[in-house]
Structure 1
Amino acid sequence: MKNIYVNLKRFDVPKTLGGVNGIADIQDWGSYILKNIKGGIKKYEGKAEFTFFMPEMHLLGALKELAGEKQPEIGCQGVCRTDVKKDGNFGALTTSLPAAAAKTAGCTQVLIGHCEERMQLAQVLAEAGVTDSTAVNRLLNKEVQAAIGQGMKVLYCIGEKENELENWQEVLGEQINIGLCDVDTSQVVIAYEPIWSIGPGKTPAGKEYIEKIAGFVKEKVSGIQVVYGGGLKKENAEMLASVSSIDGGLIALTRFQGEIGFYPEEYLEIVDLYLGGEGKS
């Protein structure tokens, strides 16, 4: 079974304020996306599972649009390290999204450890004078445990920066060993983000490199699925489909030039290219 994920980042920001949302009113955006993709993915029932990670503002509209349908699944873009506890913390977690709240809303999955989250955590720790490279992974481990404790599945992101290429095994090994310590990994899928290859002017990670990383991860965690988190798109969909050790991909933008953003019809084209190209060499 393949896994196709979408991270809709901050698609609750309209273009007038510097964002990339221009296809629907902010209040209707979540439901608009689901309305225009759920029919197109039905032909892949039994072959792939689909998940959309959405900003909090879009969650309820998207869930209402599904109206009990199982596909796609809706997830949030992170949870707080501290959760609500019966006869304890009733939810005094201002500015944070506890796993209990995400679960109550109807989220079944959560995205944890995305390179953007790792960077933000590292910046906060640096301001506090913390230079321990394991600290970010320890904090993410608490998030993973909180999510799984509420019965949600986790897409856990790992990846190395350009200055970490020479010791990538140590970097990724640490992210796995600490981030998933004492975790039920049957509830986890790993997304590999080659941070050094993402962005304008960067050389994309090639097939052999991606195969090497996927093999390394699967040796570290037996039975776990690995998806490509560096951006599943039209340009690489067929190549990624030919990598037998990769179990899916993570989509963000569908259009990177002109009116950049996420467009349902382009998402379905990427899905068709990836799942239709599965097995090609």
Structure 2
Amino acid sequence: MKHICLNLKRFDITPDYGGVNRIAPVEKWAEFILRNTQGKLKAYDGNEVEFDMFFPEEHILNAVSSLEPGSPVNLGCQSIYRKDTLIGGNFGAFTGERPASAMVLAGCRKTMIGHCEERQDKKGILEAAGVKDFSAVNRILNQEIQCALNRGMKVLYCIGERSEEQGQWKEVLSQQLEVGLAGVDLGQVVIAYEPVWSIGPGKIPADKAYITKIARFIKEKTKGAEVIYGGGLKKENAAMLASIEEIDGGLIALTRFQGEMGFYPEEYLEIIRIYMEALQLNKSEIIGGAAHENGI
């Protein structure tokens, strides 16, 4: 199964407030995105690829109400809190947080946990408290994953190394996997690899050889868990990522990086088209090559 995930971050904020939303009024933003994508996504085989969209919390109810019958879109939230409501226990004293129970009731089937921006935020809090042992971040993320799975949610778990960690990438990723996924049913988790050191303006993107090396490492460590590229699936790298056998999809965020930058539904669909067509071409070449070797 391939997984095309969409992280809509805070792309709902309009330019006059410093954001990039030029597509719809905030109150209709989720509806606009779904109305302009889900119909065309139905053209793809649901047994081969699934489409996940992770919305900011306040847009989830609008997104749920905009789902069409038979929509191929799975709705998700952008992480959850490390604790949850419990019958006979905490009934909702979670001011400012997103317990898994609330997200499930709102209509989320999935959640993203451990995105590099979430990791950086937790690391910053620890630094402000004078803590230098950042392994606590992975333990907290593990608690979030456990809460999600206990509520029947599936998880997109993000891992990745920063620039200063590149020389120790194996140790960094091993800890993120071993601690973050301790006691977790990996059948309910897809892992997104984010090479944090290569993401952002002016940085050199990770190449095919590097991504392949990391994906193989993750699959070996997890005994075959599904791995997608979390460093940004876009038009420029869609065909390349489709050619990597160990990569099971990608994470899309911005679709336009220059001019009126932002997320645009038609460009999102174009990225998916390029990726899926390249995937089918690669399959055809593999089948053709096998037939030739067998003398067919």
Same fold per superposition (TM over 0.5): yes
Shift of the alpha carbon at 1:95? 0.4
Amino acid across the alignment from 1:233: K
Partner of 1:186: 187
Matched, 1:29 2:39: no
Letter of the 2:260 counterpart:
E
Q: Structure 1: where are the runs of 5+ without partners?
A: none
Give 1:221 shift.
0.6
What is the match of residue 82 of structure 1?
A: 83
Which secondary structure does the structure 1 equivalent of 2:158 belong to? Answer: strand
Q: Offset at 1:69?
A: 3.2
Cα contact 2:8–2:253 (8 A) shared by 1: yes
Deviations 1:41-65 (A, max 9, x none): 1111222100000001211111111
Would you tell me which structure has more helix in proportion to its own residues? Answer: 2
Report the Cα offset of residue 71 of structure 1. Answer: 1.3
Q: How far does the alpha carbon of each residue in 1:107-129 deviate from its partner, in whole angstroms, 9 at most, with x for none? A: 00000000000000000011111
Question: Structure 2: how far apart are the matches of 1:200 and 1:14?
Answer: 21
What's the counterpart of residue 154 of structure 2? 153
1:161 CA displacement: 0.8
Find out whether 1:60 has 2:61 as its counterpart.
yes
Deviation at 1:67, TM superposition (A): 4.5
Residues 76-116 of structure 1: per-residue CA shift (max 9 Å, x gap): 00100010111110011000010000000110000000000
% identity of equivalent residues = 56
Q: Which amino acid aligns with 2:221?
A: K
SS of the equivalent of 1:249 reads strand
User: Alignment length, in residue pairs?
Assistant: 281
- Normalising by structure 2, we get a TM-score of 0.93
5+ unaligned residues in a row in structure 2: which ranges? Answer: 286-296
> Are the counterparts in 1 of residues 3 and 248 from structure 2 also a CA contact under 8 Å?
yes
One-letter amino acid of the structure 1 residue matched with residue 232 of structure 2:
G
Which residue does 2:294 correspond to in 1? none
Offset at residue 190 of structure 1 (A): 0.3
Q: 2:215 corresponds to which residue? A: 214
- Which residue is equivalent to 1:263? 264
**CA distance 1:223–1:108, change in 2 (3 Å):** same
Matched, 1:91 2:87: no
SS at the partner of 1:6?
Answer: strand
Check 1:68–1:94 CA distance in 2 against 1; reply closer, same or farther (3 A cut).
farther
Q: TM-score, normalised by structure 1?
A: 0.98
1:12–1:58 Cα contact (<8 Å) kept: no
Q: How far apart, in 1, do the equivalents of 2:87 and 2:261 lie?
A: 45
Runs of 4+ in 1 over 3 A off after TM superposition: 67-70
What whole-Å deviation, never above 9, does each CA across 1:180-238 have from its counterpart, x for those lacking one?
A: 01111110000000001011111110001101000000001113100000000000000
